[in-house]
Chains A and B, each alone.
Chain A
Amino acid sequence: MKKFSRKIAAAAALAITVSSCMTGCFNNTGSGSGSGSSGGNSETVLRVGYTQEPSSFDPADFTIVAATLTGYDCYDTLLNFSHDGTTVEPALAESWEQVDDTTYTYKIRQGVKFSDGNEMTMDDVLYSLNRVTEDNYYMSYLFANVDSFEADNDTWTLTVHLKQPDSSWQYVPATSACTIVEKSVTEEQGDKYGTADGKTVGTGPYKLSSWSSGSEIVLEKNENWWGDPDTLDIDKVEYYVIEDESALALAAKGGQIDFVEGMSNSVMSVYQSCQNFNILSCEGTTSNYIAFNTASKPFDDEWARKAVAYCIDRSQITTTIGGDYAKQSAVVPMSESMMYMDKDKWDSTIAESDVYTQDYDKVKECLAKSKYPDGFEFDFYTTSQTQKQAELLKSMVDASGSITMNLVEVPDSDIFSYMFGYKTKDNGERYYNAVGTYMMSDFLDPMGMLKTLYAGSNACEGGTNETLWSSTEVDGLLDKAAQTTDDAEKMGYYTDAYKIFADECPYLGLYTSSDVYAVSDKFTYDPSPMFWYNFSYADVHVAK
């Protein structure tokens, strides 16, 4: 009887332990945040889910969506983009002026405090800008035309001297490149600044509260924010790292997540089936395309490029890979949101140019005119992220019977080295014959995409022109466009350049992707085309 009682007691203890754990498990609703939105005096928590963790909160590392969804709100930039992305608005600079063709002045806001309570100084502003103009900063190309920065401590004025006139400079202060950090903290922290182990200090509406590596990041209201913290609906942002996309979708479906950005096509149906979620989309600036290496065989021959272009059914690629929230791109990779200056003129220019619809007879015609009448092989570089797309492209190209596309998959970490020419063959040639990739523009002015991709000055090591194609005529047109602020005149230069791009086909645009969000119906959010630079939880509101 004694033995039996002991066994019963042990079994009961085990059962209690297990059941209490399970019960606790079921009752836990994510760090005690409750329903996310709560009334009365309790705080309003927005639970954000994403598959990646940011590497750091240092603005110098704001290269991935995870950083935009977390660190970006801890800082402010000199200016902000307007909600539609076409103009700029005051932020840390309360006003600005173009003094002459190459000089801009910015009146810096006084009395702004960092989240640690220290006041922002002109020294911090100057330090932040000099920090990102260093050659190794990933967005240093935005400052290639900057001759110098000058800070006047008495008048709180920042003066920017450009080397030559450039109307697109007006947008640069609204990009994350012009994020202001606190000099003393950044210098003291060194490499640790912004990491999970280090400090993050900014002037933004939110501040970093905690960071559990691989799991959870918490932001809370910055009571020192120069804007009014009381205007923020969201008191606390809990950012959860859920690497598996299906698990993330289930977390949203189970009501554990309120806000998701960038859902892929494969899990979209799960979000669409969530009755308490709204799917929002906004055409951004992301374009997916093929870049042909025009500096070596076979794509130094424009007819070889055109032959491949005619192999591809871009409509099928758009539907199969891009999904519901993608649009077929024009030959020049550029989204419709960037055609705001004169959409009709763009449309008529696109219609007048060759659009390269799949046509294997034209493939034969192009090959006959090329140096490779019997066809050719080429290496197409891709990563695991774009593998599906690459396989579909290969099936279309190989179906021509004359052209063979060899897929070369390289690690995600290496693709930039190949594309930007840091990794080349011994003779200096690039490894890839063609590469499948994507690009986001820094601003909606078409210059953001056209100069980045097509300018001869970018066809070099470290440059963003992966095709190495250049044309003095195009460079001249882009220079003229940069020197005018008249939209109609600009459009004339852009559309003239477009005709050359379509005719020479160094790039082949495939599709443009929209920014897609799943937002719990407890909250509202009005997305902006400039997600990368405009995203802020200050724009997420509790649904009335």
Chain B
Amino acid sequence: MKRFRFIIKRLLSMIVIMFLVSFLVFVVLRMSDADPLTVMIGNNQSTPELRQALTEKYHLDDPVHIQYLRWIKGVLSGDFGTDYVDGQDVKGLVMSRLPITFGLVIMSSVIGSVIAVIMGVAAALRKGKPSDAAISGLMLVLSGAPSFLVSILILFFMTKYVPGYSFIGTYTNFGEFLQRIMIPSLIMALTFVAMLGRITRSNMINQLQSPYIATAAAKGLKQSNITYKHAFHNAVIPVITVAGYMIAGSIGSTVIVEQVFSLPGIGGLLISAIEENNFPIVQILVLFMLGAYLVMSFVIDILYTVLDPRVDLK
């Protein structure tokens, strides 16, 4: 019952936040210098007749709150509007870009998290030894390496030394889809390895130095049991929190690999929409990213109660 009440409360607060932020984004975009009519007209002649026709078509002379209500009503009924620059259906455009971004986020977070935890635990178990120094040093280097540079260097290496490697074009089946996102996912995974690996290592060291570990050892428990069942279990909880937020945040950070590896995802779509003042796309993508972030934090909270019975839901 307590958990049910918590879930309802969180869902309601998420809905309120989504509405508030979407309204703020909508208003702030319209407070900018960018003129939607200019964006829509592009290189065409900006005649008074055309301006009037577009103003009427898109209800641009309505007060901002009325425009917002019209837009949000459309979003709730599945109509995301029309893109200002190309006149394309925003929903279709966003949906066509989602698979790449989801694929990148899921694959990079899974690969990155698994490698990070393995490396973090391995380093913690060998604390102070050369292998610990090597792993920690590698993670430090990875955390400081700029994604764009890494992407370009890897691309340079692949095109120069791996015959037949291709990073252009679209995909027609799941196999091709995996082929297109594999290398970019590995590059994105490096960020997970760098961040989560270091957190895993330090948490694991803290746990291994805790008094309860000494007690468990004194009771004669097997070392592997102490390490993986007790210390690891407690060490991994903060890692999951950080991983959750990193996954949500990585939706936005796909833009670099998408651009370098010419992948049609929503990161690149958002950047070009911001550059072009293409408001309908910016609005829906900001809302989408916020939604992903809120859902992820919600999932983390629920996971906490499963992993750590001491955590109470209020």
- Determine if A124 is an interface residue (Cβ-Cβ < 8 Å): no
Asked if B86 contacts A55 (CB within 8 A), the reply is yes
Closest residue of chain B to A193 (Cβ to Cβ) is B87
* Contact status of A413 and B160, CB under 8 A, knowing A24-B178, A215-B169, A215-B170: no
Q: Which residues of A contact B156 (CB under 8 A)?
A: 250
B172 to nearest A CB, angstroms? 8
Query: Among the interface residues B88, B169, B260, B272, which one has the most CB atoms of the partner chain A within 10 A?
Result: B169
Taking residues whose C-beta sits less than 8 angstroms from the other chain, chain A's interface range is 35 or more
Asked if B85 contacts A55 (CB within 8 A), the reply is yes
Which chain A residues in 21-60 approach chain B with CB under 8 Å? 21-22, 24-31, 47, 49, 55-56, 60
Contact with A along B29-55 (1 / 0, CB 8 A): 000011100110111111101100000
- Determine if A525 is an interface residue (Cβ-Cβ < 8 Å): no
Asked if B168 contacts A135 (CB within 8 A), the reply is no
* Contact status of A140 and B45, CB under 8 A, knowing A214-B264, A240-B262: yes
- Determine if B175 is an interface residue (Cβ-Cβ < 8 Å): yes
- Determine if A99 is an interface residue (Cβ-Cβ < 8 Å): no
Other-chain contact of A247, B166, B175, B262 (Cβ < 8 Å): B262
Other-chain contact of A244, B165, B170, B175, B259 (Cβ < 8 Å): B259
B242 to nearest A CB, angstroms? 24
A182 to nearest B CB, angstroms? 19
Asked if B264 contacts A215 (CB within 8 A), the reply is yes
- Determine if A256 is an interface residue (Cβ-Cβ < 8 Å): yes
Which chain B residues in 69-89 approach chain A with CB under 8 Å? 85-89
Asked if B159 contacts A413 (CB within 8 A), the reply is no
Closest residue of chain B to A254 (Cβ to Cβ) is B159
How far is B261's CA from A49's CA once the two chains are assembled, in angstroms? Answer: 13
Q: Which residues of A contact B159 (CB under 8 A)?
A: 250-251, 253-254, 256
- Determine if A241 is an interface residue (Cβ-Cβ < 8 Å): yes
Closest residue of chain B to A418 (Cβ to Cβ) is B38
Asked if A56 contacts B86 (CB within 8 A), the reply is yes
Which chain B residues in 218-244 approach chain A with CB under 8 Å? none
- Determine if A63 is an interface residue (Cβ-Cβ < 8 Å): yes
How far is B39's CA from A411's CA once the two chains are assembled, in angstroms? Answer: 10
Other-chain contact of A30, B38, B49, B169 (Cβ < 8 Å): B169
How far is B268's CA from A138's CA once the two chains are assembled, in angstroms? Answer: 28
- Determine if B277 is an interface residue (Cβ-Cβ < 8 Å): yes
A170 to nearest B CB, angstroms? 24
How far is B162's CA from A184's CA once the two chains are assembled, in angstroms? Answer: 50
- Determine if A323 is an interface residue (Cβ-Cβ < 8 Å): no
B240 to nearest A CB, angstroms? 21
Asked if A56 contacts B87 (CB within 8 A), the reply is yes
How far is B276's CA from A212's CA once the two chains are assembled, in angstroms? Answer: 20
Closest residue of chain B to A18 (Cβ to Cβ) is B182
- Determine if A136 is an interface residue (Cβ-Cβ < 8 Å): yes
How far is B87's CA from A250's CA once the two chains are assembled, in angstroms? Answer: 32
Q: Which residues of A contact B97 (CB under 8 A)?
A: 213-214
Asked if B42 contacts A243 (CB within 8 A), the reply is no
Contact with A along B247-262 (1 / 0, CB 8 A): 0000000000001111
- Determine if A416 is an interface residue (Cβ-Cβ < 8 Å): yes
Contact with A along B117-139 (1 / 0, CB 8 A): 00000000000000000000000
Asked if B88 contacts A420 (CB within 8 A), the reply is no
- Determine if A109 is an interface residue (Cβ-Cβ < 8 Å): no
Closest residue of chain A to B157 (Cβ to Cβ) is A250
Q: Which residues of B contact A197 (CB under 8 A)?
A: 88-89, 92
Asked if A25 contacts B42 (CB within 8 A), the reply is no
- Determine if A196 is an interface residue (Cβ-Cβ < 8 Å): yes
Q: Which residues of B contact A28 (CB under 8 A)?
A: 164-166, 176, 179
Which chain A residues in 376-425 approach chain B with CB under 8 Å? 411-414, 416-417, 420, 422-423
Asked if B46 contacts A26 (CB within 8 A), the reply is no
How far is B96's CA from A31's CA once the two chains are assembled, in angstroms? Answer: 18
A322 to nearest B CB, angstroms? 23
- Determine if B163 is an interface residue (Cβ-Cβ < 8 Å): yes
Asked if B38 contacts A414 (CB within 8 A), the reply is yes
Other-chain contact of B49, A29, A136, A192 (Cβ < 8 Å): A136
- Determine if A238 is an interface residue (Cβ-Cβ < 8 Å): yes
How far is B310's CA from A401's CA once the two chains are assembled, in angstroms? Answer: 72
A248 to nearest B CB, angstroms? 8
Contact with B along A308-334 (1 / 0, CB 8 A): 000000000000000000000000000
- Determine if A486 is an interface residue (Cβ-Cβ < 8 Å): no
Q: Which residues of A contact B264 (CB under 8 A)?
A: 212-215, 241
Which chain A residues in 119-143 approach chain B with CB under 8 Å? 135-138, 140
How far is B177's CA from A24's CA once the two chains are assembled, in angstroms? Answer: 10
* Contact status of A417 and B35, CB under 8 A, knowing A49-B168, A250-B159: yes
- Determine if A375 is an interface residue (Cβ-Cβ < 8 Å): no
* Contact status of A136 and B45, CB under 8 A, knowing A24-B179, A192-B87, A195-B86: yes
Asked if B163 contacts A26 (CB within 8 A), the reply is yes
Asked if A462 contacts B45 (CB within 8 A), the reply is yes
- Determine if B183 is an interface residue (Cβ-Cβ < 8 Å): yes
B113 to nearest A CB, angstroms? 14
Closest residue of chain B to A24 (Cβ to Cβ) is B179
Other-chain contact of B262, A135, A243, A254, A417 (Cβ < 8 Å): A243
Other-chain contact of B169, A137, A240, A422 (Cβ < 8 Å): A240
Q: Which residues of B contact A240 (CB under 8 A)?
A: 168-169, 262
Asked if B46 contacts A420 (CB within 8 A), the reply is yes
A504 to nearest B CB, angstroms? 27
Other-chain contact of A416, B34, B43, B92 (Cβ < 8 Å): B43
- Determine if B312 is an interface residue (Cβ-Cβ < 8 Å): no
Asked if A27 contacts B45 (CB within 8 A), the reply is no
How far is B179's CA from A191's CA once the two chains are assembled, in angstroms? Answer: 36
A215 to nearest B CB, angstroms? 4
Asked if A213 contacts B96 (CB within 8 A), the reply is yes
Asked if B167 contacts A213 (CB within 8 A), the reply is no
Q: Which residues of B contact A241 (CB under 8 A)?
A: 262, 264
* Contact status of A137 and B168, CB under 8 A, knowing A21-B182, A26-B163, A214-B268: no
Contact with B along A51-73 (1 / 0, CB 8 A): 00001100011010000000000
Asked if B47 contacts A462 (CB within 8 A), the reply is yes
- Determine if A510 is an interface residue (Cβ-Cβ < 8 Å): no
How far is B273's CA from A413's CA once the two chains are assembled, in angstroms? Answer: 11
Other-chain contact of A216, B164, B170, B178 (Cβ < 8 Å): B170
How far is B269's CA from A55's CA once the two chains are assembled, in angstroms? Answer: 14
Asked if A244 contacts B45 (CB within 8 A), the reply is no
Q: Which residues of A contact B155 (CB under 8 A)?
A: 247, 250
5 A/B residue pairs, CB under 8 Å, sorted by A: A138-B42, A195-B86, A197-B88, A244-B262, A254-B159
Q: A residues within 8 Å of B by Cβ? A: 18, 21-22, 24-31, 47, 49, 55-56, 60-61, 63, 135-138, 140, 191-192, 195-197, 212-216, 238, 240-244, 246-247, 250-251, 253-254, 256-257, 411-414, 416-417, 420, 422-423, 462
Q: Apart from A55-B85, A135-B47, A413-B277, what 11 extra A-B contacts exist at CB < 8 Å?
A: A24-B178, A25-B166, A26-B162, A28-B165, A60-B44, A215-B262, A240-B262, A244-B259, A256-B168, A412-B275, A414-B34
